């Protein structure tokens, strides 16, 4: 191992610096160009907004839009190990790729439906635990108490650690001989569990790790939502004789809905697309622990089935898109955002409280 000398630092800066300078120079040229053309030549109204948006737009085009288009084109090809340098494109290949996603094994033996159902199970378990535990922790932290800042900081630590580092550390602890989980189990008299080679326990291990990783985010979001609920709603409810459960169900939940619904949608999408946790914890490549995105990665890079994998990726994207659309409609988020006339008046609150408060057309509270 070499120590960090000035020479190494300068060399690294040199390797990175030239790229940074090139990007900086490019942005300057771009802005100057837009200013001169749109501002001076065309005297366009929106020169400034265009100047401000241009670098980001180009970045997004290059890094997101172009790869997606490339992927759609790739799904129309037969690119694999043997047709690596000269893939052929055409509708027939698209038919074959998209057909294979549903009819042929996506890996060696497992088909699309079991992997899809396992992904649904994984997402359901994860989001349920995240929201439940996150809500419990948020409710606990929402009270005035000593050292609240310290508890909050400690509870956010799992989120702050780079995800891959945390997952690899957890993977080490699932090791049969030397991992701390099995050591604790043996100390209390049970046998060690084969976390990595048993299909069931490997799936449990993946779930445990992701719960540890995902709860802080949900807790922080829900805590923010809880703190935005006006105290007077609770006071009014107490005056009307509502107990803690009634207060939670009828005040907290409806008022936290504008925060909870996007959080759940994000949680579902991120969990379904969560690659790091299932991929790394599944060290022995058990096909029974694969979810859609890890199966996609293996199809593309372990088995070099690039055309097929591109079609697979598009299928996953469409599934998530349909889910997001349905969920937003179903959860009434649009109504809360003011699109329709319906307002989510907390049920069971006494008329006095409702009369004292009124909501404007956009849902804001007016005194």
* Residues forming the site for another protein (CB under 8 A): 18, 21-22, 24-26, 28-29, 31-32, 35-36, 40, 80-82, 84-85, 104-105, 108-109, 175-178, 192, 194, 196-199, 283-287, 301-305, 308
Contact 134, 319 (CB under 8 A): no
Minimum gap (Å) between residue 358 Cβ and another protein? 49
In terms of CB distance, is 130 or 196 closer to another protein? 196
Distance CA 170, CA 282 (A): 12
Please provide the distance, in angstroms rounded to a whole number, between the alpha carbons at the two ends of the chain. Answer: 67
Q: Which residues of 208-238 are buried (b: 16+ CB within 10 A; e: fewer)?
A: bbbbebbbbbbbbbbbebbeebeeebeebbe
Distance CA 287, CA 284 (A): 9
Distance CA 33, CA 43 (A): 13
Minimum gap (Å) between residue 108 Cβ and another protein? 4
Contact 286, 202 (CB under 8 A): yes
Minimum gap (Å) between residue 200 Cβ and another protein? 9
Contact 358, 366 (CB under 8 A): yes
Distance CA 249, CA 245 (A): 6
Distance CA 185, CA 190 (A): 5
Minimum gap (Å) between residue 296 Cβ and another protein? 14
DSSP string, 27-80: HHHHHHHHIIIIIIIS--TTHHHHHHHHHHHHHHIIIIIHHHHHHHHHTTB--S
In terms of CB distance, is 238 or 283 closer to another protein? 283
State how far Cα 126 lies from the chain centre: 12
In terms of CB distance, is 95 or 302 closer to another protein? 302
Select from 231, 280, 266 the least CA-distant residue to 251: 231
In terms of CB distance, is 55 or 338 closer to another protein? 55
Minimum gap (Å) between residue 122 Cβ and another protein? 19
Minimum gap (Å) between residue 11 Cβ and another protein? 12
DSSP string, 277-332: HHHHH-TT--GGG--HHHHHHIIIIIS--HHHHHHHHHHHHHHHHHHHHHHHHHTT
Distance CA 155, CA 89 (A): 51
- Residue found by looking up tokens 């939940």 in the block: 253
> How many CA atoms lie within 13 Å of 10's alpha carbon, on the beta-carbon side?
3
**171 is written with which tokens?**
């993977």
In terms of CB distance, is 111 or 249 closer to another protein? 111
State how far Cα 167 lies from the chain centre: 16
- Residue found by looking up tokens 């001076």 in the block: 40
Minimum gap (Å) between residue 174 Cβ and another protein? 10
In terms of CB distance, is 201 or 234 closer to another protein? 201
Minimum gap (Å) between residue 66 Cβ and another protein? 14
Minimum gap (Å) between residue 270 Cβ and another protein? 25
Minimum gap (Å) between residue 77 Cβ and another protein? 13
């Amino acid at each position: 191992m070499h120590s960090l000398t000035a020479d190494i630092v300068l060399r690294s800066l040199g390797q990175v610096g030239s790229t940074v300078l090139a990007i900086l120079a490019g942005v300057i040229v771009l802005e100057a160009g837009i200013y001169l053309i749109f501002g001076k030549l065309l005297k366009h109204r929106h020169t400034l907004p265009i100047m401000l948006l241009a670098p980001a737009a180009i970045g997004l085009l290059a890094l997101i839009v172009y790869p997606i288009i490339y992927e759609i084109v790739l799904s129309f090809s037969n690119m694999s190990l043997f047709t690596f340098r000269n893939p052929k494109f055409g509708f027939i290949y698209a038919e074959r790729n998209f057909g294979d996603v549903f009819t042929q094994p996506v890996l060696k033996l497992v088909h699309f439906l079991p992997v899809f159902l396992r992904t649904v199970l994984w997402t359901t378990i994860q989001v349920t635990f995240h929201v439940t535990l996150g809500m419990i922790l948020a409710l606990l932290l929402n009270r005035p108490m000593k050292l609240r800042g310290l508890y909050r900081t400690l509870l956010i630590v799992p989120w702050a650690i780079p995800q891959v580092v945390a997952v690899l550390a957890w993977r080490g602890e699932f090791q049969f001989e030397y991992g701390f989980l099995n050591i604790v189990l043996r100390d209390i008299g049970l046998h060690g569990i084969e976390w990595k080679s048993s299909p069931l326990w490997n799936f449990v291990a993946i779930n445990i790790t992701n719960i540890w990783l995902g709860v802080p985010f949900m807790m922080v979001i829900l805590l923010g939502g809880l703190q935005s609920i006006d105290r007077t709603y609770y006071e009014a409810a107490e005056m009307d004789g509502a107990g803690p459960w009634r207060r939670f169900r009828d005040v907290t939940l409806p008022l936290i809905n504008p925060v909870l619904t996007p959080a759940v949608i994000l949680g579902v999408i991120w969990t379904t697309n969560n690659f790091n946790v299932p991929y790394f914890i599944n060290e022995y490549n058990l096909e029974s622990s694969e979810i859609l995105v890890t199966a996609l990665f293996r199809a593309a890079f372990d088995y070099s089935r690039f055309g097929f994998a591109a079609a697979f990726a598009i299928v996953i994207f469409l599934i998530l898109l349909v889910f997001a659309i349905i969920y937003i409609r179903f959860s009434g988020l649009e109504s809360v955002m003011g699109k329709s006339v319906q307002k989510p008046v907390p049920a069971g609150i006494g008329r006095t409280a409702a009369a004292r408060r009124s909501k404007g057309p956009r849902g804001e509270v007016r005194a």
